[in-house]
Structure 1
Amino acid sequence: MSFELPALPYAKNALEPYISEKTLDFHYGKHHQAYVNNLNNLIQGTKFETADLETIVKESDGGIFNNGAQVWNHTFYFMQFAADGCKEPKDELKKAIEAEFGSVESFKDAFSKAAATLFGSGWAWLVKDAAGKLSIVQTSNAANPMRDGLTPLMTCDVWEHAYYLDKQNARPKYIEDFWKVLDWKVVSERF
């Protein structure tokens, strides 16, 4: 199996001014593409040569895991945005967020704090467990919560390449703008 960079569901300038076309050129077009290329090279001749991406994330290690997880994480990240998407969670997802965090605003505050305080490079995630309970988790580097039996619903990439061209070292400003392009319809469908 050969993996390909998935097409974005929006134009590269559609998320401006919150995420610039220049950032997407580098983050999606160069970083994400490099992970895809590296993964394709690394899986040749291994038991993962015909595996799907989720299997690679859950079962591999070393370079195959790092690149496979980064392909999965980045694809998941880029597919949750829209310039004119749904701006608030609705229906069952909203009820679950309110039940766990008290309100959508309280959830956003807690999630933003998790993204802002993650030391170094990594990801903040909204996940649900097998019982449907929501939680926020932080992972470093390429780590993915699926390895812990959790189902990812949304993520914020806090590797510097996700925001440095637009925001320099202002990670909190990037996180503030993240909410402006997040499409809650996508997150609800994942729930």
Structure 2
Amino acid sequence: MAFELPPLPYEYGTLEPHVDSMTMQIHHTKHHQAYVNNLNAALDKFPELKDLGLVDINKAVGTDKLPTEAATVIRNNGGGHYNHTFFWKVMTNPSNTNGPSGAAKEAIEAAFGSVDEMKTKFNAAAAGRFGSGWAWLGVKSDGSLAITSTPNQDNPLMSGLPDAAAMVPILGLDVWEHAYYLKYQNRRPEYIAAWWNVVNWEQVSANYEAAKAGTVPL
């Protein structure tokens, strides 16, 4: 079955003024759509991979499960499709974001000392990612929370990354320039700081519960 561009769970202007409507429209309908199209085109050449779901495709990156001649295009576009599908869901209208709560908040405080300290470390990972990539908060194999960043459209589900990057994502931030350049130009730290105003903490909590239960949230 071919992959499809998922609809956003809100309107393009919902994240204003922190993420502008034009950026969201271009990001979703052009960039994300291109990853979907390119992934489908690659999988058309390898029908044996078509039964894999998006999570399994990403887990297969860096392993011998992917044909060598398709590994790079599937890594880039399968990663792009997963990352963006995940990203849209961890954002919401600014009026709906109230900060972490419950088990997720307790885990953040246990791992980092406080929510503010987690944000400081996350911001550093996002701002320090050279070129294009992502910052992630995730659950490691021992159940603890950690922060990492990945280049391009890589994500912590993929094999062959440094051990510190291996985790199940529960929160992720796109720091490719196309995610913020229309509004923030080269001011990536300003974009990162503003983005916290649209984080969907209810989704993050649900992602955390899923990850603790052994499920990869998508």
Structure 1 and Structure 2 fold alike (TM over 0.5): yes
Selected match of 1:70 from 42, 67, 80:
80
Conservation of the 8 A alpha-carbon contact between 2:23 and 2:180: yes
Gap regions ≥5 residues in structure 2: 61-65, 160-165, 209-218
Q: What corresponds to 1:4 in structure 2? A: 4
CA RMSD of aligned residues (A): 1.1
Secondary structure of 1:120 counterpart: coil
Selected match of 1:103 from 82, 101, 114:
114
Q: What corresponds to 1:171 in structure 2? A: 188
TM-score, normalization by structure 2: 0.85
Single out whichever of 162-171 and 139-148 deviates more from structure 2.
139-148
Secondary structure of 1:19 counterpart: coil
2:178 and 2:57 map into 1 onto residues whose CA distance is 24
2:58 and 2:76 map into 1 onto residues whose CA distance is 8
1:101 and 1:64 map into 2 onto residues whose CA distance is 34
Q: What corresponds to 2:130 in structure 1? A: 119
Q: What corresponds to 1:129 in structure 2? A: 140
How far off is 1:140 after superposition?
0.5
Secondary structure of 1:147 counterpart: coil
Q: What corresponds to 2:92 in structure 1? A: 82
Q: What corresponds to 2:56 in structure 1? A: 55
1:24 and 1:122 map into 2 onto residues whose CA distance is 17
**C-alpha offsets along residues 78-97 of structure 1, whole Å, 9 cap, x if unaligned?**
11111032321101111111
2:137 and 2:197 map into 1 onto residues whose CA distance is 17
Secondary structure of 1:112 counterpart: helix
Conservation of the 8 A alpha-carbon contact between 1:90 and 1:188: yes
Q: What corresponds to 1:91 in structure 2? A: 102
Conservation of the 8 A alpha-carbon contact between 2:108 and 2:115: yes
**C-alpha offsets along residues 119-169 of structure 1, whole Å, 9 cap, x if unaligned?**
111000001112211000110011110125521001010111100011100
Q: What corresponds to 1:13 in structure 2? A: 13
1:39 and 1:127 map into 2 onto residues whose CA distance is 25
Selected match of 2:205 from 153, 172, 188:
188
2:177 is the alignment partner of 1:160: yes
Amino acid at match of 1:137: T
Secondary structure of 2:49 counterpart: coil
Conservation of the 8 A alpha-carbon contact between 2:97 and 2:198: no
How far off is 1:186 after superposition?
0.3
Gap regions ≥5 residues in structure 1: none
Conservation of the 8 A alpha-carbon contact between 1:35 and 1:71: yes
Amino acid at match of 1:82: T
1:154 and 1:146 map into 2 onto residues whose CA distance is 13
Conservation of the 8 A alpha-carbon contact between 1:127 and 1:136: yes
Single out whichever of 101-110 and 140-149 deviates more from structure 2.
140-149
Identity across the alignment (%): 45
